[in-house]
Chains A and B, each alone.
Chain A
């Protein structure tokens, strides 16, 4: 990986950390559990890497099998995370 790409990646990382902190500070304590489960769900974005690993080659080999396991775990994270968040948010009424 060339240095330019690394620096761009690090720049994005640092900026996103600050943007994230600003957004999260505005979430009221009442919604801290949904914030957790919701942010948990989006960490399932690792599924992108899992899909690419699973579909890496035409034949089934160790890479695609590890990727397959990763797809299962990431999908549990995504589907489970969004579903519990939705269930909780539906309960909040004035």
Chain B
């Protein structure tokens, strides 16, 4: 097909992508949006294959089959609780693809290109490369393959800065001598290294921000490829993804009352304040309660707000949570769910898990919509959440999370906290809530605790 027809189809694809995001404004139209977006992608791929003078169809077919099998298998098999690491991996693949396309284009052009093309190709390769390794690191952290605690060493930021400068210096060198593959490879290796080193000092609880940011980078890399190839579909799509990633990054940072620079460079969650596995804390002793006592309180509640956190995901307890909510709902208890924006390991993580467990989405409330209701609530059930319900964010200026908007769960008549052990949360900060007089701690695996609570209430 002619280049003009192909470009028109690319425009149609980009329009479908935008419609796809537009339809995500409501759960009822979201599926249609995803379908339109898929059609747009199919059209873009199909029309590219009709490009005049295109060869290598065998290689292309093999590549698409391999990619479809791997991507499809991973996507069908992945558990909903592992969605953050899956999205990180797919995102890394997108970054790798952009970097590889830039490398191929660099070889095609040889020494015959202008400075704008060179700059955009280099940016595509650097951003794509660090997105690839950065996403792999985020994946490894979320999977627990490497420590979720920040990994730090002396002079870390100086070293990272030096690597960034070296990358830029090599880029300048490449301008003088565009055909130099050695310099080119040097830039590639440094950008891959940068992705690793930039992510390892960031703690597990900050991963939602990093995943969003890497998402935005992968979009930026695509846009840069689009500039180099003079392809508007890539420019538009890349900027959509870039904007989406930045937007979510900002929501996550605002929800923690921290700047992006603070998330990236402060190694948050590194310091574990006081060894408190003993249960000794700032305001007394944590009180572990018997299951029967907790069940009695729950059964006598008139209103209940459930606050899920990463612990619910880690214990795969979303279905058990729904069972408890349903049972109490049938007994006439008003049951609602309060979702903090940074609960879990990616934006909307809790919503997806509760949707998987068939909790109707109109029972889910965002922080600002439900926070005033805690004071008039009988019982709050905190399932594996910690920092997002820590009152220190409001009243302890020396706390690392001071200023972060948190759920006011302690204002309820009784707070029941399901917690795996007495240890501190992912951010490594002690939580006064656990020592309060109206708090009942129930230690153990969240899933089995919830199942036992339902069983006890049914007796």
A contacts, CB < 8 Å to B = 1, 5-6, 9, 12-13, 16-21, 23-58, 60, 62-64, 66-94
Contact = CB atoms under 8 A, between A and B. Distances in A.
A77 B235 contact: no
B55 A55 contact: yes
A55 B251 CA distance: 41
Contact of B60 (A23, A51, A77): A51
A18 B107 CA distance: 34
Contact of A42 (B108, B240, B349): B240
B225 A46 contact: yes
Contacts of B63: 50, 54, 68-69, 71-72, 75
A78 B86 CA distance: 13
Interface in B70-113: 70-72, 74-76, 78, 80, 83, 86-87, 89-91, 93-94, 96-98, 100-101, 103-105, 107-108
Contacts of B226: 9
B221 to A, nearest CB: 8
A92 B29 CA distance: 11
A83 B72 CA distance: 7
B138 interface: no
B72 A21 contact: no
B59 interface: yes
Nearest to A87: B75
B21 A38 contact: yes
B22 interface: yes
Contact of A43 (B49, B83, B241, B348): B241
Nearest to B35: A86
A38 B24 contact: yes
25 contacts: A5-B230, A16-B239, A20-B244, A26-B22, A27-B25, A30-B364, A31-B24, A32-B347, A35-B21, A36-B245, A36-B347, A37-B83, A42-B237, A43-B94, A46-B97, A46-B225, A54-B60, A56-B55, A63-B104, A64-B59, A66-B104, A75-B71, A77-B94, A82-B38, A94-B28
Nearest to B63: A71
A39 B215 contact: yes
Contact of A76 (B67, B98, B347): B67
A52 B219 contact: no
B275 interface: no
B24 A27 contact: yes
Of listed B17, B100, B225, B361, residue having the most chain A CB within 10 A:
B100
A53 B101 contact: yes
Contacts of A76: 67, 70-71, 74, 90, 93
B229 interface: yes
A88 B34 CA distance: 11
B339 interface: yes
B360 interface: yes
B154 interface: no
B interface, over-half SS = helix
Interface of B: 10, 13-14, 17-18, 20-22, 24-28, 30-31, 33-34, 37-38, 40-41, 44-45, 48-49, 51, 54-57, 59-60, 62-64, 66-68, 70-72, 74-76, 78, 80, 83, 86-87, 89-91, 93-94, 96-98, 100-101, 103-105, 107-108, 114, 116-117, 211-212, 215, 218-219, 221-223, 225-227, 229-245, 247-248, 251, 339, 341, 346-349, 351-352, 355-356, 358, 360-362, 364, 366
A51 to B, nearest CB: 5
B93 A80 contact: yes
Of listed B108, B117, B341, residue having the most chain A CB within 10 A:
B108
Contacts of A28: 25-27
Contacts of A32: 248, 251, 346-348, 351
Nearest to B14: A16
A54 B80 CA distance: 35
A34 B341 CA distance: 15
Contacts of A48: 10, 44-45, 48, 231, 233-234
Contact of A80 (B86, B364, B366): B86
A68 to B, nearest CB: 5
Nearest to B34: A85
B97 A36 contact: no
Contacts of B56: 54-58, 60, 64, 67
Contact of B17 (A33, A42, A63): A42
A80 B74 contact: yes
Contacts of B103: 66
Given A16-B236, A33-B346, A60-B56, A50 B100 contact: yes
Contact of A54 (B18, B38, B59): B59
B107 A72 contact: no
